[in-house]
Structure 1
Amino acid sequence: MSEDRSSHESGDRSWLEKIALLFSSEPHNRRDLEDVLAIAAENEVIDPDARSIMEGAMKVSDMQVRDIMIPRAQMVVIKAGATLEEMLPQIIRSAHSRYPVVGESPDDVQGILLVKDMLPEILSQDHSEFRIQNLLRPAVVVPESKRLNVLLREFRENRNHMAIVIDEYGGVAGLVTIEDVLEEIVGDIEDETDVEEDQFIRKIGDGDYFVKALTPIEDFNDYFHTRFSDEEFDTIGGLVIQAFGHMPARNEVTWIDDCEFKVINADQRKIHSLRMRPAAR
């Protein structure tokens, strides 16, 4: 047993010595630190997953809420005046655990509904006294410019999981969840409610669609019965950038044949999501 402990302690010292060696020339900037992590991964001091998480943790300090938020057009909300019977099909279909509850417009966010808070009401035989306002929790509001590392700290300190994002004019720009922030650190988090076929294209209204920029052109053509060429580009995002002739910013609009594309979310390097409206026929 003492030999096992000695061997274990020797292994710990060896690992610590490697770490000390890597940091013997102190990193002075982000690039230096990334190089240290790369060397650590190459020497198997840390595994690739650990390196990815460390780099992701550094990345979020440079990112803002607007970079990852779920855009307003993609938000799933519940109307404040909805009855229990009206909202249940929507909750079952979307399979979220939290929903913003809005009044006459998406800018009128009255609170956040947690599905678990509805269970007693659902089990009750009498729904005549049901009022959604009695179940609402206060909505946390954050600006688009808030840093993700600050938001994550506030989520943890206040035990919140969702925040409403507002633009410079005070209107609702979208929402962000703690899962969105964590995915920037650890990568995509998929659960049993994530459906593969819903990843790329989703109908959000009559003649109105949410489309991820990574949607393969072939899949887009199959869905909308279009004939876009995939000889130069594989994804619809590449086709849209070509149509713009530059890297577009959020809310820029372009047309390809009979389809209107509006940029919903983009950064300096790529488009993330689009809103597509086919021309009326």
Structure 2
Amino acid sequence: MSDLPLGTLFGILALLIVLSALFSSSETALMSLNRYRLRHLARHGRRSARLASRLLERPDRVLGVILLGNNFVNILAASLATVIALQLYGEGAIGAASLLLTLVILIFAEVAPKTLAALHPERVAFPASWLLTALLKVLYPLVWVVNVVANGLLRLVGVDPRKTEEDHLSQDELRTVVNEAGAMIPRRHQKMLLNILDLEKATVEDIMIPRNEIVGIDVTDDWDEIVAQLSSSQHTRVPVFNESIDDVHGILHLRRVVSDLTERRLNREQLLERLEPPYFIPEGTRLHTQLVNFQRQRRRIGMVVDEYGDILGLVALEDILEEIVGEFTTDPAAHSRYLRPLESGAYLAQGNISVRELNRALDWDLPTDGPKTLNGLILEQLQSIPEPGTSMLIHGFPVTIVQTQENRVKTAEIKPETVRPRKKRKTT
């Protein structure tokens, strides 16, 4: 090698530095690839993505061939730099040549190419996967020996190289992915996806209609009253009970009786015959579980019961769907049954409005792990039934009592413009 002209030696040295940069950048690029995007591209026929995915199935092998090539060209470059230094300035220049080569390799073969690969992993990894696949086939015996020794050392410290951790995202990590999707996912769709994730946190008690607000048919009422109630019902399905909602006979779908009702051929016995059996839901059932249960049972409405079998409320499939897509109106705050905007900019809220609906309508962040209604939050704060005109801050939100009824708050005024800014949810 010392017989070669200096120009040739410098050319070979430059080529070795380029090869070192290629090995370094391919290593960083492969390890920086988005594994989910890589699988997506591989499933859609991208040949380079398939090769890269296959290489990453055994990271010990791909790292073995990369490091073998990188160390070989770096050592060869160091030897060549020594030869060049001897020809130019003699033995005294060897130290300076080593220092200079170290800086050149560090900048041009390590930092710069690895930074480029980290910023654009697909542009580097996909072309490199072809070269690395070919090198792995050629150098496989040597790579195998290196891997056997290295993997043996890892097993001594309790690490099995064959057992790679699968890329499973936690719920919080998935929420971060959705939040950071940006323009790739429309904002409304992002919110729906996040709401689906939140179904696991909420239970049927969070969205149920309390038992004292359930609209149903008492079969002991006068028949004319029942007919009038059926004719003016705003619901397609209503529970039918005997005196008390705890003695529910079933669920009536008005479509089954509408023709007989209009022709005045319906009687009490026929009404009872056309009931669907009641469907009971244990308290504490998570919303995502109940959504699946509704689908499996082919039901759209259920009665929430406690551990003693007493009915606590009613939950419909539409209530769960609203947790995902939002209220079936253009302006939830303006059209809510429990929340009415005032000219002053404040809102008049019913005491029985759920905390979740209040958060959704006004974009607040009231806690949902305690009382389920505004009335419950107020009573928890005051530990007594308040008088009209009483004002307070509930978790930093100003509320003024407007009307009370017996042992509960009936209405309250809320002024959102004076509320502290909503805290951003932390994501991990």
- Write the distance in 2 (CA, Å) between the matches of 1:196 and 1:242: 23
Q: Offset of 1:126 from its aligned partner?
A: 4.3
Q: Out of 278, 296, 299, which is 1:139 matched to?
A: 278
From 163, 166, 177, give the equivalent of 1:36: 177
Q: Is the 8 A contact 1:68 1:176 kept in 2?
A: yes
Unaligned runs of 5+ in 2: 1-33, 41-120, 122-165, 341-349, 359-372, 390-396, 408-428
- Residue number among 214, 217, 226 corresponding to 1:87 in the alignment: 226
Shift of 1:129: 6.8
Q: Higher strand fraction: Structure 1 or Structure 2? A: 1
Aligned length: 213
Matched, 1:62 2:201: yes
| 8 Å CA contact retained: 2:302, 2:315 | yes
C-alpha distance 77-243 of structure 1, shift in aligned 2 (>3 A): closer
More relative contact order, 1 or 2 (CA 8 Å, 6+ apart): 1
Q: How many angstroms does 1:147 deviate by?
A: 1.7
Is the 2:201–2:286 contact (alpha carbons within 8 Å) kept by the matching residues of 1?
yes
User: What secondary structure is seen at the aligned counterpart in 2 of 1:20?
Assistant: helix
Indicate which of 17, 20, 23 corresponds to 2:37.
20
Partner of 2:262: 123
Corresponding residue for 1:170? 309
CA distance in structure 1 between the aligned counterparts of 2:283 and 2:211, rounded to whole angstroms? 12
| Alignment check: 8 A CA contact 2:209 2:314 kept | yes
CA drift at 1:255: 1.2
Residues 1:98 and 2:98 aligned together:
no
Contact in 1 for aligned 2:352/2:375 (Cα 8 Å): no
Q: Does the aligned pair in 1 maintain the 2:291–2:320 contact within 8 Å?
A: yes
**Cα RMSD between the aligned structures?**
4.0
* Contact 2:206 2:354 (8 Å CA) reproduced: no
Larger helix fraction of residues: 2
The verdict on how the C-alpha distance between 1:110 and 1:27 changes in structure 2, with shifts beyond 3 A counting, is same
Give 1:277's aligned residue: 405
**2:184 alignment counterpart:** 45
Q: CA deviation at 1:198?
A: 4.0
Offset at residue 257 of structure 1 (A): 1.4
Task: Give unpaired runs (5+ residues) of structure 1.
Answer: 1-16, 202-208, 217-236, 247-252, 260-268
* SS of the residue 2:184 aligns to: coil
Q: Could you list the per-position Cα deviations for residues 212-269 of structure 1 after superposition, in whole angstroms to 9, with x for gaps in the alignment?
A: 36899xxxxxxxxxxxxxxxxxxxx8797466437xxxxxx7311169xxxxxxxxx9
Displacement of 1:102 after TM fit?
0.8
Cα offsets for 1:63-98 (capped at 9, x unmatched): 211111111111111102345531243345440111
TM-score scaled by length of structure 1:
0.63
How do residues 153-192 of structure 1 correspond to structure 2 at under 5 angstroms? 153-190=292-329
Counterpart CA distance in 2 for 1:31 and 1:142 is 28
Query: Which one-letter code corresponds to 1:33 in the other structure?
Result: L
The separation in 2 between residues aligned to 1:52 and 1:180, in whole angstroms, is 17
- Asked whether 1:256 is paired with 2:386, we answer yes
- Secondary structure in 2 matching 1:51: helix
Specify which of 90, 100, 111 is matched with residue 250 of structure 2: 111
Asked if the contact 1:72–1:172 (Cα under 8 Å) also holds between the matched residues in 2, the reply is yes
Query: Which residue identity is paired with 2:178?
Result: L
Q: Are 1:106 and 1:172, in contact at CA under 8 Å, matched by a contact in 2?
A: yes
Q: Could you tell which deviates more after superposition, 74-83 or 85-94?
A: 85-94
Point out the structure with max Rg over C-alpha. Answer: 2
Q: 1:190 to 1:110 in 2, by over 3 A?
A: farther
What secondary structure sits across from 2:278 in the alignment? coil
Task: Give identity over the alignment, percent.
Answer: 26
Inter-partner Cα distance in structure 1 for 2:292 and 2:354: 30
Please give the alpha-carbon distance, in whole angstroms, between the structure 1 residues aligned to 2:204 and 2:307.
Answer: 13
- Asked whether the 8 Å contact 1:70–1:176 carries over to 2, the reply is yes
Shift of residue 61 of structure 1? 1.9
